[in-house]
Amino acid sequence: MGLIMKKSSHWTSFFFLLFITTSSHAERGTGDLGVIIERATGSVQVIEHTTGTQLYEIKGLGDLSHATIVYSRDERYAFVFGRDGGLTKLDILKGEIVKRILQAGNSIGGAISQDGRLVAVSNYEPGGVRVFDSDTLELVADIPANGADGIQSKVVGLVDAPENRFVFSLYDSGEIWIADLTSPEEPEITKFTDIGHQPYDALITPDGRYYIAGLFGEDGMALLDLWHPEKGTQHILDNYGRGEKKLPVYKMPHLEGWAVAGDYAFVPAVGHNDVIVIDRKSWKQIATIPVHGQPIFVMARPDGRQMWVNFAFPDNDTLQVIDTETQKIIKTLKPGKAVLHMEFTPRGERLWTSVRDEDQVQIYATDSFEQIKSLPVKKPSGIFFTHRAHKIGL
């Protein structure tokens, strides 16, 4: 009898818990949620950025060094691209893994298609892009990046573009490819060769029109107008840094989240302690802004009034804020050792930043630059909020 009693009380608490958890899931949206990568432990934290609350920790995602995330268009599912080729679909409302596959040996990033049906992953090993059904994670298309030079190249700078296209760059072969997945099983590939030496990352303008690959092996960037691919790529900023000695580069800059404000765009210089100012009409460099170190991310606050910059090793304990109008540094912050990533809240009143070696994510007010809060997170790297779901290229 005692045993039965015990059992039934277990069941009662089980149903009670089930009730609590399901009801709390059902009663909230995901528009103010986000995911933080814990790069060293293969785990992520789901957070809510209105109050700065940690909701769940999800474990078992493999090697998450350099992991990145895209969101389903309903902002409920996060697709996590791991270094080890892992592709994990998370339900951030429930805080659990929906499905996880190992799709390659070594990967670097991913993108979600315009219609939200396809998730593409850029791989280093084997070099290429693999495209999956975002619902089931079944393989839809495999695009090996065999360059014109016969080398199967590592793929970088993969972004989504309008008309269900993905655009990416071949690091080893120096090419840009457009994959049109209007018919997902038969991707139509347009290739641009000789775009420049060692494209290391790329960006797409927020309107989805221009794809720009940064070049490591030479000065400048490669620009492709996706409205007029027939015109081919154009080499821009080729005078940048000429005659000056490049500094050793201890970490590759990232071009995602680049800053666009008014007529200007701002990008990190490679091998120089500068942010480059580009005129968006002529795509010519019009100024440089000397900064604390070699910039990694140059990210505009959503209104474009400020940009926040973090730096490569060994200057990575600093964040600088630049006024985009005056192009002057207006604040220098020292959040701690290894400031890796930043994310603005959707309308930009807060900035979240991961400080890896302090095991902290710090939250700043972007008007006063005061630190509002600090959250304990193990070796945090990327921070990704769900509003990315509705932005081209993110």
Partner 1 sequence: MKRLIIFFMLSNVSALNHACAEELFNERQAELTDLLLQDCGSCHGMTLKGSLGPAITSEALANKSEEEIFLTISNGRPGTPMPPWKNILSEADIQWLVSTLKNGVDHEKK
Chosen residue from 251, 305, 373, 391 binding partner 1 by CB under 8 A? 251
Instruction: Determine the interface stretch with partner 1 among 136-144, 158-166, 182-190, 247-255 (rule: CB under 8 A).
Output: 247-255
Instruction: Determine the interface stretch with partner 1 among 58-66, 68-76, 134-142, 384-392 (rule: CB under 8 A).
Output: 58-66
Answer yes or no whether residue 83 interacts with partner 1 by CB under 8 A: yes
Answer yes or no whether residue 249 interacts with partner 1 by CB under 8 A: yes
Provide the sign of the torsion angle of the four alpha carbons 198, 308, 211, 393, taken in this order.
positive
Strand partners, 375: 361
Answer yes or no whether residue 388 interacts with partner 1 by CB under 8 A: no
Nearer to partner 1, 171 or 258 (CB): 171
Binding footprint of partner 1, residue count (CB under 8 A) = 28
Chain centre to alpha carbon of residue 51: 23
**352-382 exposure pattern, b = at least 16 Cβ within 10 A, e = fewer:** bbbbbebbbbbbbebeeeeeeebbebebbbb
Least CB distance to partner 1 at residue 271 (A): 9
Q: Which of 159, 143, 151 is nearest to 206 (CA)?
A: 159
Nearer to partner 1, 29 or 314 (CB): 314
**261-294 exposure pattern, b = at least 16 Cβ within 10 A, e = fewer:** beebbbbbbbbbbbbbbbeeeebebeebbebbbb
Least CB distance to partner 1 at residue 216 (A): 6
Token pair recorded at residue 93: 């409302």
Chosen residue from 98, 151, 329, 338 binding partner 1 by CB under 8 A? 338
Answer yes or no whether residue 292 interacts with partner 1 by CB under 8 A: no
Contact present, 169 and 157 (Cβ < 8 Å)? yes
Q: Which of 383, 379, 257, 252 is nearest to 313 (CA)?
A: 252
Nearer to partner 1, 84 or 225 (CB): 84
Q: Would you give the DSSP letter of residue 105?
A: S
Answer yes or no whether residue 313 interacts with partner 1 by CB under 8 A: yes
Least CB distance to partner 1 at residue 54 (A): 23
Question: Interaction with partner 1 in 30-49: which residues (CB under 8 A)?
Answer: 39-40
Token pair recorded at residue 28: 């909230």
Least CB distance to partner 1 at residue 241 (A): 16
Cα separation, 51 vs 98, whole angstroms = 26
Question: Interaction with partner 1 in 206-225: which residues (CB under 8 A)?
Answer: 216-217
Contact present, 257 and 241 (Cβ < 8 Å)? no
Chosen residue from 48, 52, 56, 66 binding partner 1 by CB under 8 A? 66
Reduce the DSSP state of residue 143 to 3 states and report it.
strand
Nearer to partner 1, 117 or 130 (CB): 130
What's the start-to-end Cα distance of the chain, in Å? 59
Answer yes or no whether residue 103 interacts with partner 1 by CB under 8 A: no
Reduce the DSSP state of residue 386 to 3 states and report it.
helix
Specify the DSSP element, H or E, that contains 6: helix 2-26
Answer yes or no whether residue 314 interacts with partner 1 by CB under 8 A: yes
Chosen residue from 132, 171, 352, 385 binding partner 1 by CB under 8 A? 171
Instruction: Determine the interface stretch with partner 1 among 11-19, 73-81, 246-254, 261-269 (rule: CB under 8 A).
Output: 246-254
Q: Which residues contact partner 1 (rule: CB under 8 A)?
A: 39-40, 63, 65-66, 83-84, 106, 108, 124-125, 154, 156, 171, 198, 200, 216-217, 248-252, 313-314, 338, 356-357
